[in-house]
A = this chain, B = another copy of it.
Amino acid sequence: MRIDFQCLPLTLDPSFLSQRTVVVIDVLRATSVIVQALSQGALEIIPVMTVEEAFSKAKSYSSGSTLLGGERGSRKIEGFDFGNSPREYTAERVKGKRLILTTTNGTRAFHAVSGGKEIIAGSFFNLSASAKRCLELGSDLLIYPSGDEGRFSLEDSVCGGMLIDRIIRQNAHRSNLTDASQSAYLLYQRFKDNLVEALRLSTHGQDLVARGFEEDLSVCVQVDLTDVVPVFREGVIRAFPIPSKKER
Assess whether A240 is interfacial by the CB under 8 Å rule. no
In the bound complex, CA of A148 to CA of B183 (Å): 14
Interface residues of A in 156-197 (CB under 8 A from B): 157, 178-180, 182-183, 186-187, 189-190
Minimal beta-carbon separation of A111 from chain B (angstroms): 20
Question: Which residue among A148, A152, A190, A203 has the maximum number of chain B CB atoms within 10 Å of its CB?
Answer: A152
**Main SS class of interface, A:** helix
Question: Which residue among A7, A179, A180, A204 has the maximum number of chain B CB atoms within 10 Å of its CB?
Answer: A179
Q: Tell me which residues across on chain B come within 8 A of A189, comparing CB atoms.
A: 190
Minimal beta-carbon separation of A165 from chain B (angstroms): 15
If A187-B186, A187-B187, A190-B190 touch, does A7 touch B179 (CB 8 Å cutoff)? no
Q: Contact between A152 and B203 (Cβ–Cβ < 8 Å)? A: no
Q: Tell me which residues across on chain B come within 8 A of A202, comparing CB atoms.
A: 179
Report which A residues bind B (CB closer than 8 A): 5, 7-8, 10, 148, 151-154, 157, 178-180, 182-183, 186-187, 189-190, 201-204
**Smallest CB-CB A-B distances: 8 pairs:** A7-B7, A154-B179, A152-B180, A7-B152, A152-B179, A179-B203, A8-B8, A153-B179
